[in-house]
Structure formats: C-alpha cells, structure tokens
Amino acid sequence: MGTVRELFASSIFPRLNCRPFLRDAAYSAAIRGLIHDGVVGGFVLFDGDANDARETARQIQELAEGKLLLAADCEDGITMRFPGGTEFPSMMALGAANDLSVTYTVAQSIADEMRDLGILWNFAPVADINTNPDNPIINIRAFGGTPKLVQEHVVAYLRGIQDRGVAACAKHFPGHGDTSLDSHRELPSLPFDAKRLWQVELRPFAEAVRCGVRSIMSSHVAVPALDPSGAPASLSPILTERLLRHELGYDGIVVTDALDMHAITNGWSDAEASVLAYLAGNDVLETMPDPRATLEALCQAAKSGHISAKRIAKTTQRLAKLREWIESKSNAPRSTPQSRALYALEAARRSLRANGEFTHPGAPLFVLGFTDTLDNPKPEEWFLYFSSWYPDDADVAVVTREVSPKEQAEIRAKIEGAGGLLLALFVKPRGYAGTVGLSNDQMELLRDLPLRPTALLNFGNPYLLTDIETTLRIDAFSASSPSLAASIEYLSRAHSDLLPHRQ
C-alpha cells in the first residue's frame, strides 16, 4: 500500500514546462528533485514543441522507472500545447460539422499523437455548454450551445480517445459554459438552481459517466444555490462529493482544474486549497504553486485526523484502476500521420458555415485582419493561402487589440481608397485574457465604414459582428491550418471564375 506520504504524493501533479526542463539546468534539477524525493504521482505537461514533450516524457519516465502518469490539455490536438503535430479544428467546429463519426475519428487521431509523445491522459473533452455568447474562456472550446449536441459529441470524443488507450477527462464540472468570468482570473458563479443544472449543465457529464469516462475535472466555479458558502466546485464537498459522486454515481478519478489559477489563489493559500480539494472529493490535484507544500499540508491533515484513512484508500484504489486501464490499452492500434492530416481537413471542410457570395470588387481589395495577440501567426498563414487564390493584388493590414490614432487614420484612408473590403477575424478564448471579443480600438475601426464589407471570414469566436452587413460570411470556428485551407477551398469552388489564369 505504501506510507501515507507516498499515497498522497500519487495525487500530486505539478506543472512541468518541457522546454525549460531540457534547457535550464536549475529548473531541470528542481523537477528531478520532486521525482527523487517522492513528491509527485505525475505531471501536467506544458511549453515547448512536440519533440520537447516527447524527450521530456522519455527522460521523466526513465528517471521514475515508468511509474508516473503524464497528462496534458490536448482538446483539439497536441498542437494546443506542443507545436509539431496535426492541427485539428476546435470542438465547436466539430459540433458545427455535427457528424459523430468525424468527432470520434478526430479524437482517435489526437490520442494516437499523444501516445507518440508518451502522454496518456488528455484533459478533454470540454463538456461545457456554451450558452453565454460573452463567455470569455469557453467559447469555441465547447462543442456548442445545446445539451443534446454537446452530450453526443462529448461521448463520441471520449470513446475515440479511450479506444486508443488515452484516458479522457470531461470538464469543467458542473459546467463553465454560462459564466461571464474567466476562472484563470477570478471566481465565476453559476446563478442557477438544481433543476436548471440537471436540464442543461449536467447532461453531458451524466452521459459521460454512463459511457465510462475515466476522469472528470472539477471546475473553479461556484454554484451558490447548491453550496451557499460560495466555494468553487473544486473545493466543495457539496458539488463534488455529493453531486458528482453520489447523485451522478461517479466513482472514477476526479481531478481539480489548475490550482494555480487566480480563482483559487485569490482566496486560499496553497495548503488550504490542497486540503479542501482533497476533502471535496478530488483524487488528483494539479498544477499547484508549491507541490512540496501541498504534500506537507495533506500529511498534516491526515495526522490530525482531518483526512481519514478510508478517504485516502478510496483515492488509492481509483488511481490504481486508472493505471491498470492505461496498461491494458498499451497495444491499441494507431493511425498514420497521412490519415490524420486527411481527417483534420475533412473535419474542417464539414464545419464551414457560409452565407452569401464573394463579389469581386473590380478594383483594389483591402484585407483587414483582427487578432487578439501580437504573436498569432494565423493571419499571415491565411493571407498566404488567400493570395495564392485571389487573382489580383490586395493590400493587407492586421491589427491587434491596441490601435493608435495614427494607425486608425492610415487604415481608414486605405479603406476609403479600396474597391472592396474583406474582414478576417482571428479571435479565440485565451486564459487570463478576460475577454473573447474585439477591443474598443478594433471596434472603432468598424464604425461608419465607408464600404460595405465584401466578405467576412471568421476563424474564431462565432458571436462576433453577427449584425454587420456583408456580402459573404464564412464561420470556420477554428484557425487551425486545415480550417484556413478549407476556407480557400470553399472560395475556389464557389468562385472558380476568380481563379488566377497562370501561364
């Protein structure tokens, strides 16, 4: 069975940044020290490319003699964390395609690439229902905005990855889809009663439980109607132990959302949050600020009788079952890189939603892109695809959230001198951003446009600019490379008369 300290350590999954682990001697020594001292049961991997993740996993397991579990957030593929694999469309894109066989095959492909890295636990699928268009963190990460669609695709996804030997994790229980705050920054709240939760938020989780999901992630979201203390589900025995364990009948692994998020760190110390999370019914605590402090706090709580031996035994049994299940799937088949690329492109094609037609302006076209971050490479990638199709020259500008008065004046002058205007949106949910909308500066550019937009191509948040008049609107729900390519394919098929005639 092991000592109490060893049993608690198996529940501790700190953050592991792969690139620094391989390049920074001090950081690598600290991580290796956690393993050597028996502080952890696994890691959640971040940072670096696919090769970094693969090599990190290899070294970690060599050091730990294969005893650790490695997890990562790979909702739409390993590229969500580690560039170098197949880019798949977002979950909302899969929901828009609404073909369960496509979702299942995409999930299988994601699992195959995770196994290649040595990561056998995927913190996905997102089981939240995005019923709030202003939700700053879920948005296109959810399959959609209705319980039926979301629960069907959650099951297809979890079956796909688990059939390939990677444990799934339905998140963020009891639901993060109808919140207006980002739990990375502050504590959100669901202002609903039990009846509404059972009708909407809980349905995908209940179906995931019925279909054998291997883990569920508790959210940093409060539900005051059920737990008047205002504690988030991750720290609430009422929401996790009573609602999830007893009322939904779930006896698999429950893992907290990251304990270094501000929804937790703003209100609780590392030690307090760790003990409360364990007592709430979580088996795995992830990405806490100080894993050694977490382990000591748990040991002290057991010594004082606050955490019972019976409670520790339950988690020990659940973790043992998870490890046994993963080992039993070690010989699951795998797809090829070529087939995965085709699956991703087919999913992107099916997810496109287009209304209207592209009208060649017969004069210079001005392409105005909106992005939410300076380091987003997707606008440039899409403009390269577009220029390979569009027969004439087009002037291009990309604006981030801050646009100076000088830049605004220059862009407006270009719009006034153009024959047509194409808008391209690259805005998606990002942790700690606090919004998934356009900034005031970006919106200012769109006020009193001198031209009706020739087209609007949206590669992110589908709720943006829904009231703007445009000749053509395409929603791809994703800025994955296949989604960008699929948009150009659509334009080429629909408007073959504009294809360049090359000598």
**DSSP code, position 496:** G
Helices vs. strands in the chain: H and E counts, helices first:
18, 15
Alpha-carbon gap, residue 461 to 290, rounded angstroms: 35
Asked if 495 is an active-site residue, the reply is no
Please give the structure tokens belonging to residue 20: 């620094």
Give the CA angle between residues 478, 482, 488 to the nearest 5°: 95
**DSSP code, position 141:** G
Asked if 184 is an active-site residue, the reply is yes
Positive or negative, the Cα torsion across 485, 103, 233, 254? negative
Helix (H, G, I), strand (E, B) or coil at 426: strand
Whether residue 17 contacts residue 287, with contact meaning beta carbons closer than 8 Å, is answered with: no
Please give the structure tokens belonging to residue 421: 């205007």
DSSP one-letter string for 332-361:
-----HHHHHHHHHHHHHHH-EEEE-----
Query: Which position among 128, 227, 257, 475 bears the catalytic label?
Result: 257
Other CB atoms within 10 A of residue 207 CB: 20
Q: How many residues does the chain have?
A: 503
Whether residue 84 contacts residue 47, with contact meaning beta carbons closer than 8 Å, is answered with: no
Ranges of beta strands (E only) in 306-414 are 353-356, 365-371, 394-399
Query: Which position among 153, 172, 184, 220 bears the catalytic label?
Result: 184
Please give the structure tokens belonging to residue 44: 């959640």
Give the residues across from 121 on adjacent strands: 71, 167
- The catalytic site residues sit at 184, 257
